[in-house]
Amino acid sequence: MERTVSELARLAGVSVRTLRHYDAIGLLPPGRVAANGYRYYGRPELLRLQRILLLRELGVPLPAIARILDEQDDELAALQGHREQLLRERRRLDDMLGAVDRTVAALSGDDAVPDEEFFTGLNQARSRLRDELAERYGECAAEGFEKAVRETDGWTREDYERMGDEGRRLLLRMAAARDRGVRPDSSEALELIELHYQGVLELWPATPASYYALGDLLVENADQRAIIELVDGELVEWLAAGVRAYAVQRLGYARIDKKTVRGSV
């Protein structure tokens, strides 16, 4: 059964504009285009759209989705792989929910929550971040992160709560600036990003290249996104753009090829 672009949009819960965009970038062309210009989508296109939307829910950017779909010919194996990703995401969210519940209990005066349990979610998030840094930027970046973790080994619950409060206040200031129309690469925004950069340096000796790369990580790492979105659901992209702009304008970072960046972070 063929469906028009409007019918497919209603079925999938997306906009017609989104489907037209997917067609324009070659991600989801219609099964056929009639002489009158109408697009028609069959079952193969419906299945492809389902996979696109699954990957989007996992936070995969569109260019990467195109590569994934083009490289996977076995639909069943691909969907099983997506299922495994969703299970991992569910476990991650369960970990985060548990950490939030423990923090709420502690802040509500529940002294029965032991410090070891308080730090469970944090330690799991650290482990995931370390693995992603190694995968993205090499062992050098992961080792730098591990060094930063060792620097905080003696921190207490109060130390982490203080750091969290300071971070939330800074994110709220950034959100207010964004709401006033401040561009992330403007001088006003970069003054706020300076505070973010100094906070990073307290924990991690970030180079201009690694700080620039942090902009991508804020967008693509689910744990990092979640931290920001708890304060403001629309701040992630603005902050990431500000981090990249700061690396270029204030730290003198000049964008180079990925192999060089990988070796320098």
Confidence of residue 155 (pLDDT cuts 50, 70, 90): low
Q: Which residue has better confidence, 82 or 34?
A: 34
**Residue-level pLDDT at 171:** 93
Buried b (16+ CB within 10 A) or exposed e, 4-14: ebeebbeebeb
pLDDT range class, residue 70, cuts 50, 70, 90 = confident
Is residue 87 a contact partner of residue 64, using CB atoms and an 8 Å limit?
A: no
Rounded CA gap, 181 and 202, in Å?
A: 30
pLDDT tops 90 at residue 115:
no
CA distance 78 to 63: 17
Q: Which two tokens stand for residue 84?
A: 């495994």
The dihedral built from the CA positions of residue 181, 185, 187 and 191, taken in this order, carries a sign that is positive
Residue 255's pLDDT is what? 66
pLDDT of residue 116: 55
Q: Which residues of 126-146 are buried (b: 16+ CB within 10 A; e: fewer)?
A: beebbebbbebbbeebbebbe
The residue ranking higher by pLDDT, 247 or 214, is: 247
Give the pLDDT confidence score for residue 257 in this predicted structure.
Answer: 42
Element holding 121 (H helix, E strand): helix 120-137
* 190 residue type, one letter: L
Give yes or no for residue 77 having a pLDDT over 80.
no
pLDDT at 55 over 90: no
- Give Cβ neighbours of residue 198 (< 8 Å, ≥ 6 apart): none
The proportion of the chain whose per-residue pLDDT surpasses 90, expressed as a percent, equals 33
